[in-house]
Amino acid sequence: MFMKALAQVLIWAIVLVMPMGQLPDPPPDYRCIANPAAQVIAAQASNPRGGQFCSGTKAAGGVFAHTVVGIIKGEDADTAVLRRAMEVMPIKDRENVDNRKGGGTMPENAGGFFQMLLKGNRDLFIYLIPTDQNDVYEIAGDYAGFNGEQMRAVSGIYYDAVTSQIYTGNQKGIYGTSYAFRLDDVLVSTENNAFQRVFGFTPLYDWIGGPLGGFDIDTMRIRFPYGGKDWLFQAWKGCYTDISNGAEIGIYEKSQSRRVEFYDCSALELPMSLELYHSGAPLFRREARTWWLGAFQPSPKMKPGNMTLVTGITFDDAGMQAAFVEALSKLKLEYTEKGETVRFTW
């Protein structure tokens, strides 16, 4: 319940701090994704009055905050404005970026953020830097200290202008949180090198974490022995902290000599897919080769009993696939096999 209350407080705090803002329309006269032929924006002078954000950064932040909160409240929000907020951000050439800071982990980024606040800062100016990949940009920022020092931070967070995905190069998630974000359908998704991987899994996590986090979720476990190990494929679906709905599936393993039901997060990574439906209407689809596939979408609370999860897993090992199907059939779940891929509905 604490997590539910905290989530609600954070949402309303963001709305109060960040005004809605107005994005430039038509496209601005500086170089951006929406206007790639224009000139690179000139360096901005520091504001002697100590404004915390430049107007463009504040407008984009306000659009993000208010659009997502509107979706959580069940409003008919225009998610296309999220992509546009990224597309009108200025683009600077990479050779103009120095003093690289931050490796994309939570301690590094949080530490850098608080250090910036303690020193005093103003005029945070966010922009994009082209990368070696077409249509992929890294997010960076310039800011000024109250002592007049000009500073620059490169985030290690990337934006793919084709897929609308915001993600990290180290697959540890934005600011080390384990999660990426897709603008087009406002989808929060797990990344492969999530910090949760080191903690393993036990059913105790569900028994404690669900009530503590304010989750209303159902879970389903597929257990089977294979190759001298005990395997667990576990799926979840439902409402997370009253502000999002989603689904997960994870692969876990343990030695058969380990008597307690504590599994390691598996080193095995397989192509997996999730399709989540609510009362027959599709919510989202996601796929990746990973050990833990999860996706969560801000929206009003939905009951897990009204959700249908369709999962696909492609196996590299025919013997493991056969053992998995045998365990699946005992649960009386509807499933199909096509080549190396098993799809089941729950």
Q: Which two tokens stand for residue 165?
A: 């995905």
Q: Does residue 192 fall inside a structural domain?
A: no
Q: Does residue 185 fall inside a structural domain?
A: no
pLDDT tens figures, 222-243 = 999 999 999 999 999 999 988 8
Q: Does residue 243 fall inside a structural domain?
A: yes
What is the residue type of 288?
A
pLDDT at 41: 74
Contact 145, 132 (CB under 8 A): no
Q: Does residue 326 fall inside a structural domain?
A: yes
Q: Does residue 190 fall inside a structural domain?
A: no
Q: Does residue 136 fall inside a structural domain?
A: yes
CB-hemisphere CA count at 13 Å for 44? 25
pLDDT at 17: 58
Contacts of 105 (CB under 8 A, 6+ apart): 172, 175, 176
pLDDT at 71: 86
Residues 14 and 91 in one domain: yes
Average pLDDT over residues 324-344: 95
Residues 336 and 208 in one domain: yes
d(CA 209, CA 227): 31
For the entire predicted model, the pTM comes to: 0.85
Q: Does residue 90 fall inside a structural domain?
A: yes
- For residue 32, the cross-strand partners are 35
Q: Is the pLDDT of residue 96 over 80?
A: no
pLDDT tens figures, 157-186 = 899 999 999 998 889 888 788 999 999 999
pLDDT grade, residue 120 (50/70/90)? low
d(CA 125, CA 38): 19
Q: Buried b vs exposed e over 236-245: b needs ≥16 C-beta within 10 Å?
A: bbbbbbbbbb
Residues 61 and 143 in one domain: yes
Q: Which two tokens stand for residue 37?
A: 């032929």
User: Residue 292: which domain range?
Assistant: 200-345
